[in-house]
Chains A and B, each alone.
Chain A
Amino acid sequence: MRPTAKLALLGILCAVLVTACGSNEPQTRGGPPTLRLLTEAQYRNIIRDTFGSQVVVASRFDPIVRIEGLLAVGAGRATVTPSGVERYIALARSVAEQVVAPGNRELLIPCAPAAPQAHDPQCAELFLRSAGRYLMRRALTDEELASYQRIAAAAAAANSDFHAGLSYALQAMLASPDFLFVAENVVDGPDGTPRLDGYSRATRLSLFLWNSGPDEALLAAAERGELDDTRGIRRQAERMMESTRLEAGVRAFFTDMLALDDFQTLEKDTNIYPAFSLAVANDAREQVLRTLTDLLLVRDGDYRDIFTTRNTFMTGSLGLVYRVPAASPSAGWVPFEFAEGDPRAGIQTQLSFVALHSHPGKSSPTLRGKAIRELLLCQRVPDPPASVNFDLFNDPNAPGKTARDRLIRHSTDPSCSGCHKLMDPIGLALENFDGAGQQRLYENGELIDTSGEINGMAFTDSAGLGDALRDDPAAPACLVRRVYTYAASRPIQRSERQLLNHFEDEFAGEGYRLRELIREVATSDALYAVSQPRLRTAQLGPEEVSP
């Protein structure tokens, strides 16, 4: 090829490369570095990744407050209460003892001591450094190692047992703030701007994509400085996204976004809903996660289809509640598709929505409407005023048979309608699902009217509601916001508004594919940008605190 043509080609190539690298991402200053408490799932995952699944983590974890709709952000505010510390210490001890127990130690400790009843500093160092690297998500400093060695030596001497010594050192490691908290390290970049160090980037990426600590390859990349630029990050992100472990990360994300941990305290009255058992509750939680991962990861589908998809999965116990055939009560998970035209389309009709956002003995249009607004559209509904007079609802001459009748005041009374018109039309469309999520046509002998309107789009049933939600631009915008917030694990800064718009455009341009969005966010500059850590004392900021 002639030289000028080559140059031209190179020029074109460069241009293509530059645009392909998404450099139209708005610049951000980033947010402050976070200090996050490990969530229960992250704790378990890191232990499992480091020591394998034969080590059992049996403990209760303190609940975290949800901020900006995510526990991931709340983790950045969480602290450990005295009873929490007690539990962590006990748990650390339990895990440490399991790791050094015969049977496990051969697999988990990479060396044998020179003499089994005495402390062996070399073998101890080997173990402590390698375990510590995964647990702390960075290399141990010499000072830290020395501290742990001291503990191990004293304990080994007291017990005349090398492994007992290791156990105390490991316990100290597992109860240390370096393990329990994800602290982000800010260093000076080449141009003097503050930047996250390699380990912090690795951890941010790894918690986002896999909900666990960085694996060996990622830690090595961090140590080699590869994560300091976008290319290196992209390489690792691609690798991690190819892995089956991405599913765990996506599940953790949706569990947080859809507040599925509320299932832990969900109660249904067994007299009113005899079919709703603990098995059903567990299956319902799993069902929505399977539906989403199937649609968004396996099929790489359009995110907006979550409101209209008829493809889901069933088990025997779910079949009872949905009143659909299941292959057999014990067959496990089986793919299932609702027929064309069936109103049970979209995750908003699944038990994980309608049963979770209901009362123990009856449905609740308001709770469901609020849940859709807040969880799927990221629109906050104000709290009710304290002075509501509920006498308006109790007209003994006209007791409402259906929820729509009973809630008519919500839409006619001016002090109520402002907020309730945000919630009720959505929730009333789902009234064909009772408090346990079972389909019904009648309530108290009267046919249920599920028609309504949202954003000017009219619908007659829950499938129609799904169509209307699908077209609501707030839905993909909400996902973008949540994904980015989750990855950054801190409230969105004002300066990041443009960034969100950029992500939204990219998301739309890529056909609303979740993988693309994840890739965009994981490889963005913004995710790793930090501003100076705040040194003044904190107050509760303008972000809301969800009770």
Chain B
Amino acid sequence: MFVRALFMMLAVLLPLAESSAQIVDAGPAHLHLGPVRFYADLTAGEQTATVVSNGRGRAEFSLDRASLTLSWNVSVDRLTSRTLSVSVNGPQRPGTNAGVQIDLAPRGLAPTLRGSAVLTEAQLDYLLAGRMYVNVRSARYPDGELRGQLQRVPLTAEQMAAIPLPSPPAAKEIGAPTGAGKNGAAGKSQATKTLGYVIANWDNAIYQTRFMDECPEGPAIGNDELWWRGLARTDKDRLTDKGLVQPVDRRFVSVFRGPQGEDVCWNPTLVKDPPLRTVKGTVAYGFDLDSRSDGKATPKSCAHENFVSARGERGVDNQMYRLLGCHYGWRRNGVLDTFGNEERRNSGRGVILMEITGVTDERNSPNVQVGFYRALDPYQIDSVGRILPWASYRIDINKDKPRYGAVARGRIENGVLKTEPLDLKLPFYSNSAYAELDLKEMRLELDLTLGKDNKVRGLIGGYYDFDKWWEYMLKLEFLIATGDWSCPSLYTAARELADGHPDPETGECTSISSAFRMDALPAFVIHERAGSAAGAVR
């Protein structure tokens, strides 16, 4: 009963208006799917250092979803010497060593070990991220004789099918008034009003469940691990100094794993990585970009699977989510978007403005225009590092025209802004890299109700131009280890999964449907050139 209630509660806990990439909860727990199972094959070859042993072992784990109790059954055989300990260690990177997380033999050693322990949230994270391994220490090899990484036992097709789809909303759930209203200048009703915003955070909109069920095989395998697996035994020791060299410092070696030592990001087709683990779940944030829910190819799109949104809407096209959703670096606690947002905030670059004009009523306006501009001025930050609302930003104007100034048509319904499709280019800056975010047929859904933190939140999506996207991904190469992704597998999968704007000659799709979560703060968008007086307030 309690479990059911918990499930129901968690199932509706992901409204559209979410805070930044760091979500506190992790979505539905799918308790009815039964325990999450893991296994590990223990061999000497998995040790970082060279170990000579015919020892073998097998560990099987079962994680109870409701209580986070991990139960194990471990058997070990033919060790060279007396067993010293058997434990689960983590968090590790491929070919590194980590500390003990769980002692698998708390009541003493035996050839077969059974037991259970309750995981902490952090340990759950490491487990789902594929960062835990079993380590068997022996007298001859006190650092470890046998080792095996915990792999997830894939969910079966039946189990995947048993994951419920969100149902469509009842009546008007969207944009229900929260009461506080927009604090600010007393808005006496005038002809039309202008609302200005500055975009603060921008994250890939990743739908996630607590036990990563949308990635039934486990997380995507990153470059580091692929490189590690490809190394000869003798090279492993040497290149990692028996596991002591940090992954971040190994990057210079690990991406150069082409046949002739080529950088496999710049040449992603030179090696054939195992196929990317893509999202197999059926729920995603995003928009119905091709106005169909059957996923069939059209003159303007390639065949692809559709998603159902967290609000139960069908026909959501978000192939980008399919690609990125099982990468730890883009999920919650992942670094790629979080670091990007922080770095952008501190650098003052890539400040994007939104200006909504023609607003007759902040809750309902049938006909508004939404302009996107690049700002000349950096964020105004307070003493703690937060972006301050109500600052003024000048538009970057070149010879009387904004450098970036696309304008979409839209309407406001019950306090939510929705725009018509627009081909939009944005001066995006993130993770120390400039990228021209090229979103074709962009749609925006923005809840204009000001939160307590003075933010408005929304979803922006469209077809991301493939070349522009990949260009940005290459600039993230320096984060390939921390973000845990791999260029060849990602590139290959992306080429297959791209679903928009087929090339007229080759038929290959040249853009990827995507969706981003964005929040913004009220701001004044200044159109005049610097030096002229600001006009009277609206």
- Contact yes or no, A328 B392, CB < 8 A: yes
Most buried by B among A325, A339, A440: A325
Given A270-B383, A319-B391: A328 and B526 interface contact (C-beta under 8 Å): yes
Q: What is the 8 Å Cβ interface bit string for chain B, positions 95-132, against chain A (1 contact, 0 not)?
A: 00000000000000000000000000000000000000
Given A325-B526, A327-B534, A328-B394: A441 and B380 interface contact (C-beta under 8 Å): no
How many residue pairs between the two chains, A and B, have CB atoms under 8 Å in the bound complex?
Answer: 102
Interface of chain A: mostly helix, strand, loop or mixed: loop
Chain A contact-residue range equals: 20 to 34
Tell me which residues across on chain B come within 8 A of A328, comparing CB atoms.
376-377, 392, 394, 526, 530
Rounded to whole Å, the gap between the CB of B527 and the closest CB of chain A is 10
Tell me which residues across on chain B come within 8 A of A329, comparing CB atoms.
377, 380, 391-392
Q: What is the 8 Å Cβ interface bit string for chain A, positions 327-341, against chain B (1 contact, 0 not)?
A: 111110011111101
- For residue B472, CB closer than 8 A to chain A, the reply is no
Rounded to whole Å, the gap between the CB of A460 and the closest CB of chain B is 12
- For residue B10, CB closer than 8 A to chain A, the reply is no
Docked complex Cα distance between A136 and B383 (Å): 46
Most buried by B among A323, A334, A335: A323
Select from chain A the residue with minimum beta-carbon distance to B394: A328
Select from chain B the residue with minimum beta-carbon distance to A277: B383
- Contact yes or no, B183 A440, CB < 8 A: yes
Docked complex Cα distance between A445 and B382 (Å): 25
Most buried by B among A270, A327, A331, A338: A327
Tell me which residues across on chain A come within 8 A of B526, comparing CB atoms.
325-328
Select from chain A the residue with minimum beta-carbon distance to B187: A441
Select from chain B the residue with minimum beta-carbon distance to A337: B536
Contact of B391 among A270, A320, A334, A339 (CB under 8 A): A320
Rounded to whole Å, the gap between the CB of B321 and the closest CB of chain A is 34
Select from chain A the residue with minimum beta-carbon distance to B390: A323
Contact of A326 among B181, B524, B536 (CB under 8 A): B524
- Contact yes or no, B531 A331, CB < 8 A: yes
Interface of chain B: mostly helix, strand, loop or mixed: loop
Select from chain A the residue with minimum beta-carbon distance to B524: A325
Tell me which residues across on chain B come within 8 A of A335, comparing CB atoms.
533
Select from chain B the residue with minimum beta-carbon distance to A322: B390
Docked complex Cα distance between A117 and B390 (Å): 64
Most buried by A among B181, B380, B524, B537: B537
The total of chain B residues at the interface (CB under 8 A) is 34
Rounded to whole Å, the gap between the CB of A541 and the closest CB of chain B is 46
Select from chain A the residue with minimum beta-carbon distance to B533: A334
Tell me which residues across on chain B come within 8 A of A445, comparing CB atoms.
179-180
- For residue B259, CB closer than 8 A to chain A, the reply is no
- Contact yes or no, A327 B531, CB < 8 A: yes
- List residues 488-538 of chain B with CB under 8 A from any CB of chain A: 522, 524, 526, 528, 530-538
- Contact yes or no, B377 A336, CB < 8 A: no
- Contact yes or no, B536 A323, CB < 8 A: no
Rounded to whole Å, the gap between the CB of B302 and the closest CB of chain A is 46
Rounded to whole Å, the gap between the CB of B506 and the closest CB of chain A is 48
- For residue A439, CB closer than 8 A to chain B, the reply is yes
Q: What is the 8 Å Cβ interface bit string for chain B, positions 359-401, against chain A (1 contact, 0 not)?
A: 0000000000000000011001011101011111010000000
- Contact yes or no, A320 B531, CB < 8 A: no
Rounded to whole Å, the gap between the CB of B70 and the closest CB of chain A is 40
- For residue A61, CB closer than 8 A to chain B, the reply is no
Docked complex Cα distance between A323 and B528 (Å): 18
- Contact yes or no, B390 A334, CB < 8 A: no
- List residues 326-365 of chain A with CB under 8 A from any CB of chain B: 326-331, 334-339, 341-343
- For residue A414, CB closer than 8 A to chain B, the reply is no
- For residue B184, CB closer than 8 A to chain A, the reply is yes
- For residue A422, CB closer than 8 A to chain B, the reply is no
Docked complex Cα distance between A441 and B392 (Å): 22
- Contact yes or no, A324 B181, CB < 8 A: no
- For residue A491, CB closer than 8 A to chain B, the reply is no
Tell me which residues across on chain B come within 8 A of A320, comparing CB atoms.
380, 388-392
Rounded to whole Å, the gap between the CB of B381 and the closest CB of chain A is 9
- Contact yes or no, B382 A274, CB < 8 A: yes
Tell me which residues across on chain B come within 8 A of A339, comparing CB atoms.
536-538
- For residue B188, CB closer than 8 A to chain A, the reply is yes
Tell me which residues across on chain B come within 8 A of A324, comparing CB atoms.
185, 524, 534, 537
Q: What is the 8 Å Cβ interface bit string for chain A, positions 274-301, against chain B (1 contact, 0 not)?
A: 1101000000000000000000000000
Docked complex Cα distance between A289 and B495 (Å): 65
Contact of A319 among B376, B392, B528, B538 (CB under 8 A): B392
Docked complex Cα distance between A325 and B525 (Å): 8
Docked complex Cα distance between A343 and B184 (Å): 12
Contact of B185 among A321, A323, A334 (CB under 8 A): A323
Complex A-B: 10 CB contacts under 8 Å: A274-B383, A275-B390, A316-B380, A324-B524, A325-B537, A327-B528, A328-B377, A329-B391, A330-B377, A336-B536
- List the 4 closest pairs (A to B, CB-CB), nearest first: A325-B524, A274-B382, A323-B390, A326-B392
Residue numbers of B with Cβ under 8 A of A are: 179-181, 183-186, 188, 376-377, 380, 382-384, 386, 388-392, 394, 522, 524, 526, 528, 530-538
- Besides A324-B537, A328-B530, 20 other A-B contacts (C-beta < 8 A): A270-B384, A274-B383, A274-B384, A277-B382, A277-B383, A319-B391, A320-B380, A320-B392, A327-B533, A328-B377, A329-B391, A331-B530, A336-B533, A432-B186, A439-B183, A439-B185, A441-B181, A441-B186, A442-B181, A445-B180
